[in-house]
């Protein structure tokens, strides 16, 4: 059996994905005349899970799995920009897909080789294919041909990867439409274990030395202080704080004087060991290693939850649901993180300010600069980043602004290809924790 799934609602309706999926269905049926080719639209995560369950219930197995649609850094996406859904790594690992021996999976979506295809291959033991760059719709499978020059709902179209505006700016777009470049082939990955430590354990001592005082991250620290001052002004009861992805505990140590209690959780035992060593003399602080996206705390246990430069590592849907569960009514989640997005023209004033502060940091924070350089140049850090990439800015914006309507992602500072962003969920409202299609 060959199964083809395609997104139906992402962005403006995604009619092109349906057309490309039908083209692929015809080609695969012609290439494999004895195979059963199944074509299905998938709106939400639950639709994908149900499709796999139906195949397994019939005792069928998949020789090929294809997905056409959008993708974020951590894999394929469902839903729409107003309510995006994405399987977390934990959810993929818990899923059953009935692959036949020697099966393969193809993800015809943007950037799927950067993290997702190798992860999928390791997780399911199949060869997985994806695209490194951004995909586009083409009237030809071998080189880009603008399909709008050949209109017609029944004409074949293909979801392909070529250099364009999103990878090479306006010059890339011009080359795409004028030179009609050859299509970049999909890249395949065999199941293989990671080639090093993918966690923070190996680099925990270096990280701890660089971030012994988290307040050296001035823009992020000022934003967090302002939010706490507004929510808990002088004279009000001090909040109970949970720091998710606490690392070496430096954030809770910096906050200790203004909070009632602080609990830090992190997936890295090495980082928790550093946090416990730092927190030994602080009885109001405690730190725990948490491996799965479940929090071992009662409902309503905390007034504030922070995620400081760690949200990208979390299993978003299950962990955010857990965060909301353990948050007391009126509590809030404060998120600061780094995202991938090149500066735009409207960012020029903030970019100039960020560049000036970056130069100033070399003068006033020499030890920090030296220690960060030692951390980020270490081979174990580079290995960790390969398996834990930075997400794109629009993934945060679509996800957080849909889950917490009325609140906006803000940019704190800019770099050449990355930026620091922050998000305040606002006071938690009464009602369902988080409506999910899956789990």
Using alpha carbons, select from 439, 296, 414 the residue that is nearest to residue 357: 414
Same fold across 2-189 and 204-424: yes
Residue corresponding to tokens 């924070």: 365
* Candidates 3.40.720.10, 3.40.50.720, 3.40.50.880, 3.40.50.150; CATH matching 204-424: 3.40.50.150
Which two structure tokens, joined as six digits, stand for 269?
């035992």
User: How far apart (Å, rounded) are the C-alpha atoms in residues 19 and 227?
Assistant: 47
pLDDT at 406: 92
The residues, any chain, with a CB within 8 Å of residue 394's CB and separated by 6 or more, are 341
**% helix, strand, coil for the chain, step of 5:** 40, 25, 35
**Which fold does the domain 2-189 belong to in CATH?**
Rossmann fold (3.40.50)
Domain boundaries, the chain: 2-189, 204-424
Residues whose CB falls within 8 Å of the CB of residue 142, separated by 6 or more in sequence, listed in order: 182, 183
Three-state secondary structure along 131-175?
Answer: CCCCEEEECCCCECCCHHHCCCCCCCCEEEECCCHHHHHHHHHHH
- Distance (Å, whole) CA 211 – CA 52: 45
- Residue (of 24, 167, 15, 4) closest to 76 by Cα position: 4
In the numeric block, which tokens belong to residue 297? 């705390």
pTM: predicted TM-score of the whole model, two decimal places = 0.91
For residues 333 and 409, the answer to whether their CB atoms sit within 8 Å is no
Tokens of 364: 């006033």
CA distance linking residue 380 with residue 202, whole number of Å: 7
Ranges in the chain, pLDDT < 70: 10-13, 149-153, 166-168, 430-434
Tens of pLDDT along 56-68? 999 999 999 999 9
Q: Which two tokens stand for residue 88?
A: 């977390």
Give the integer Cα–Cα distance in Å for 244 and 320: 10
For residue 31, CA distances in Å to 3, 34, 131 come to: 14, 9, 22
């Amino acid at each position: 059996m060959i199964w083809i799934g395609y997104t139906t609602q992402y962005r403006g309706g995604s009619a092109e994905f349906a057309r490309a999926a039908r083209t692929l269905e015809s080609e695969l049926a012609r290439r494999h005349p004895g195979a059963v080719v199944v074509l299905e639209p998938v709106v939400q995560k639950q639709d994908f899970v149900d499709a796999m369950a139906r195949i397994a219930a019939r005792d069928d197995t998949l020789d090929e799995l294809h997905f056409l649609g959008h993708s974020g850094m951590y894999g394929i996406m469902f839903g729409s920009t107003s309510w995006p859904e994405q399987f977390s790594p934990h959810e993929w690992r818990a899923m059953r897909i009935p692959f036949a021996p020697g099966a393969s999976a193809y993800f015809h979506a943007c950037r799927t080789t950067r993290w997702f295809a190798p992860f999928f291959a390791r997780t399911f033991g199949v060869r997985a294919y994806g695209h490194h760059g951004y995909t586009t719709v083409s009237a030809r499978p071998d080189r880009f041909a603008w399909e709008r020059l050949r209109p017609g709902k029944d004409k074949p179209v293909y979801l392909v990867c070529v250099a364009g505006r999103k990878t090479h700016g306006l010059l890339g777009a011009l080359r795409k439409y004028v030179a009609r470049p050859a299509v970049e082939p999909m890249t395949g990955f065999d199941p293989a274990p990671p080639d090093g430590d993918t966690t923070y354990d190996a680099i925990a001592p270096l990280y701890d030395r660089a971030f012994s005082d988290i307040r050296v991250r001035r823009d992020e620290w000022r934003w967090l202080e302002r939010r706490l001052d507004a929510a808990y002004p002088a004279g009000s009861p001090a909040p109970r704080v949970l720091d998710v992805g606490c690392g070496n505990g430096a954030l809770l140590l910096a906050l200790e004087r203004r909070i009632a209690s602080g609990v830090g959780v992190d997936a890295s035992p090495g980082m928790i060991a550093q946090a416990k060593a730092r927190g030994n003399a602080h009885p109001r602080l405690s730190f725990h290693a948490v491996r799965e996206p479940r929090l071992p705390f009662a409902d309503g246990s905390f007034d504030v939850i922070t995620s400081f430069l760690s949200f990208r590592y979390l299993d978003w849907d299950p962990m955010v649901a857990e965060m909301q569960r353990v948050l007391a009514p009126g509590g809030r989640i404060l998120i600061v993180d780094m995202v991938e997005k090149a500066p735009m023209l409207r960012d020029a004033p903030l970019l100039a300010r960020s560049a000036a502060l970056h130069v100033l940091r070399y003068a006033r924070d020499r030890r920090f600069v030296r220690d960060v350089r030692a951390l980020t140049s270490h081979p174990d850090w580079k290995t960790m980043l390969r398996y834990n990439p930075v997400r794109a800015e629009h993934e945060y914006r679509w996800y957080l602004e849909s889950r917490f309507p009325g609140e906006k992602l803000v940019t704190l500072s800019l770099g050449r290809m990355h930026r620091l962003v922050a998000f305040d969920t606002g006071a938690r409202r009464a009602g369902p924790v988080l409506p999910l299609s899956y789990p």
